[in-house]
Structure 1
Amino acid sequence: MKRTWADLEKTQPKVVKMLKRSLEKDRLAHAYLLEGSKGTGKSAVALQLAKSFFCQNRQATAAEPCLSCVDCTRIEHGNHPDLHMIEPDGLSIKKQQVEHLQKEFTYRGMESKKKVYLVQDADKMTSSAANSLLKFLEEPEAPTLALLLTEKGQAILPTIQSRSQQLTFSPLPRDEFVARLREQNFSEGISNILGSLTTSFDEAIELTNGDWIAQARTVVIQLMQELYDRPNQAFFTVQEKWVPLFKEKKEQELGLDMILLWLRDLLYTQVGKEVETFVDQTKLLQQQALSSSQEKLSKSMAAVIEAKQYLHANVNSQLLMEKLLLDIQEG
């Protein structure tokens, strides 16, 4: 898929604007460290920068590559002879890989004098590989462009960080994040709950291991329905379903976050705002909105936040939940 800088700017406006200005003024740095969680567009931006760097038809004061010349086409198809990529060999990037790259760079460019190297998961370099790359960064052979991609910027050697221009990629906007999860074949309900719980694509995928998140979501919906329809039953649900499922503190915290998200959707329903998380439960939310007040919902949300604070004080999970249910009922 051929993308323009304008397309990429929609998701990473700060990063793209800065790079476009550098291209337009012909002031590219010799090395960039692209840092951000998975799915934020680091690779797409890196390849676009390579296209602009190599493009034969790009105007001197413009940023956009033509996307149709030989250089742009070869980068698009992953076979440009002067764009070299390194990625982990197994669990790490090894010194031999960097040495091979350095050897490649001693040869004259196949298409032009320019060369680009792109390092995926740069934080996974061994110490010897990182030191070898550092020497390469300190003595760049112009015109050379180094693009280092990482999800863990702080794991990169400080000396490499100081010799690179660091670009931090923001988490995807919620709608795009949810759409990306939908592309992974997660249901609408699961995608929306994940989009409300985290901004990290990796964490979202980790939460879907097994079917815990789906079970947790179902229990939360049941619990919130019972609180309004059959309040006494809710206490049995805590004992029979909540306690066995939400065993670890992290799971209990996620469960409380889901309850908070339900109450937020309920508040959105009351004020006529679109539901964000429990999008498939709008009818139930509308019914509950009729018997709730904004004041009661605010108190309920405050009670959940207080419960999260008690959770870190090692309070018994069942007692914590029973107190929370009473607080929500009383409003």
Structure 2
Amino acid sequence: MIKDINSEVKLFQNDLLTRFQLIIDNKRLSHAYLFSGANGSGKETLAMWIAMRLFCTNLQSGFPCCECNECTKILLHNHPDVIFLDPNDDNIKVDQIRLLKKEANLYSVEGRKKIFIINNAELLTNSASNSLLKFIEEPAKNTYIILLTNNLNVILPTIVSRTQVVFMKLNNEVDQIKKFTEMGLSKDLSKSAVKLTQDSTCVLNEFIPNDWFNELVNLTKIWFLKLLNKDLASFNLIAQFLSLNENKTKQKIILNTLVLPFRDILFKKLNINGVCFLETNVDINKFVKTYTVSDMLNFVNIVFNAKRFINNNISLQNIIEYITVKILNDVIH
């Protein structure tokens, strides 16, 4: 199922969608933008929408169709002229920027549009920042750069001054829950989905088709219960997680979902509002009494640290095995 990116951008950043429609229609798109906002504010989604709006061969009332060959390639992150640059080993290095510049200059000679979307721009090294700055100051023809960051303060000030900065706010949580329920999720699942979109760059419509998200939530709850009950059978559930692993986006959703039950226990122990995952289907009082705040922080950190392995091309199976073994070892001993 090809996701409807138009609905997703409308959910997260409807005002900015209207703004960029006018900018593109009037051919006033700047060569460099810096999207600044918290995780879940829709930065990458808006950047993808801009790319699709520029390349779509079958626009529908000014919106990308989400179905043509160009749109599909962008959604799958394999369009030759829309390059997504992600951190390598927790940094964006100067060699990555040099390759970007080389490719931009090549295609500018051929007269083709090129869009570079740089995720987690706050992770640019100093040398990479300086190299990128020169690229922004002397842009290749028909080349557009969109930087995405959740920490504007650490971006090189000269880069900030030479880009169009777009501030992106998180949408109202109540409105997001309403949108998810309108798309077919139960209220409980909608709360979990909203929390995931706040904690990662998840794709909205990945939650909906074929009860995929509902299956993931139920599996995660079983895995969590077995783990904290010191049941070695939790290890046998890993194969079921792998059956849900359809693409890299869903890998990220799976790993982010694993955090939620531990987060809920931690919130309960600290009397913090925001329990969203376990509140109606699992009696968590036992775990609140059994485990300390330090225990829960440790479990959350295990999952968060393991999530980073995905950027190092470590398989989802190895990551979930690592998480399961680490937590089992801690709860047993």
Q: TM-score, normalised by structure 1?
A: 0.55
Shift of 1:68: 3.7
Give aligned pairs, total.
224
Q: Who is 1:169 aligned against?
A: 168
Helix, strand or coil for the counterpart of 1:106? helix
Q: Which moved more, 1:19-28 or 1:65-74?
A: 65-74
Matches of 2:67 and 2:180, distance apart in 1: 31
Deviation sequence 1:93-149 (CA, Å, 0-9, x none): 000100011111121369961111110100100010001000000011121110111
Residue pairs, 1:37-76, within 5 angstroms = 37-58=38-59, 63-76=62-75
Q: Who is 1:30 aligned against?
A: 31
Aligned letter for 2:119?
Q
Shift of 1:70: 3.1
Distance 1:178 1:139, change over 3 A: same
Q: Who is 1:217 aligned against?
A: 268
Shift of 1:73: 2.5
Distance 1:163 1:63, change over 3 A: farther
Q: Are 1:201 and 2:199 matched, yes or no?
A: yes
Helix, strand or coil for the counterpart of 1:145? strand
Aligned letter for 2:56?
C
Shift of 1:42: 1.2
User: Is the 8 Å Cα contact of residues 136 and 162 (structure 2) preserved in structure 1?
Assistant: yes
Deviation sequence 1:148-189 (CA, Å, 0-9, x none): 11111121111111111111111132136568999xxxx949
Matches of 1:70 and 1:137, distance apart in 2: 29
Distance 1:90 1:188, change over 3 A: same
Matches of 1:143 and 1:115, distance apart in 2: 6
Matches of 1:134 and 1:95, distance apart in 2: 11
Shift of 1:33: 0.8
Helix, strand or coil for the counterpart of 2:105? coil
Distance 1:212 1:170, change over 3 A: closer
Matches of 1:104 and 1:74, distance apart in 2: 18
Helix, strand or coil for the counterpart of 1:142? coil
User: Is the 8 Å Cα contact of residues 57 and 66 (structure 1) preserved in structure 2?
Assistant: yes
Helix, strand or coil for the counterpart of 1:130? helix
Distance 1:213 1:68, change over 3 A: closer
Q: Who is 1:270 aligned against?
A: none
Q: Are 1:77 and 2:128 matched, yes or no?
A: no
Aligned letter for 2:98?
E
User: Which one has more relative contact order, counting CA pairs under 8 Å at least 6 apart?
Assistant: 2
Q: Who is 2:22 aligned against?
A: 21
> What stretches of structure 1 of length at least 5 have no aligned partner?
222-240, 248-331
Q: Who is 1:114 aligned against?
A: 113
Distance 1:191 1:70, change over 3 A: closer
C-alpha root-mean-square deviation of aligned residues, in Å? 4.4
Q: Who is 2:216 aligned against?
A: none
User: Is the 8 Å Cα contact of residues 116 and 146 (structure 1) preserved in structure 2?
Assistant: yes
Matches of 2:190 and 2:5, distance apart in 1: 31
Distance 1:77 1:109, change over 3 A: farther
Shift of 1:9: 2.1
Q: Who is 2:236 aligned against?
A: none
Distance 1:219 1:85, change over 3 A: closer
The 4+ residue runs of structure 1 with deviation greater than 6 A are 179-182, 244-247
Q: TM-score, normalised by structure 2?
A: 0.55
Q: Who is 2:306 aligned against?
A: none
Identical-residue share of aligned pairs (%): 30
Distance 1:215 1:124, change over 3 A: closer
Helix, strand or coil for the counterpart of 2:57? coil
> What stretches of structure 2 of length at least 5 have no aligned partner?
182-186, 201-255, 273-287, 295-333
User: Is the 8 Å Cα contact of residues 56 and 70 (structure 2) preserved in structure 1?
Assistant: yes
Deviation sequence 1:272-311 (CA, Å, 0-9, x none): xxxxxxxxxxxxxxxxxxxxxxxxxxxxxxxxxxxxxxxx
Shift of 1:67: 3.1
Distance 1:152 1:218, change over 3 A: closer
**Greater Rg by CA:** 1
Shift of 1:213: 3.9
Q: Who is 2:4 aligned against?
A: 3
Shift of 1:51: 1.0
Shift of 1:87: 0.9
Deviation sequence 1:225-256 (CA, Å, 0-9, x none): xxxxxxxxxxxxxxxx99x9679xxxxxxxxx
Distance 1:189 1:99, change over 3 A: closer
User: Is the 8 Å Cα contact of residues 11 and 173 (structure 1) preserved in structure 2?
Assistant: no
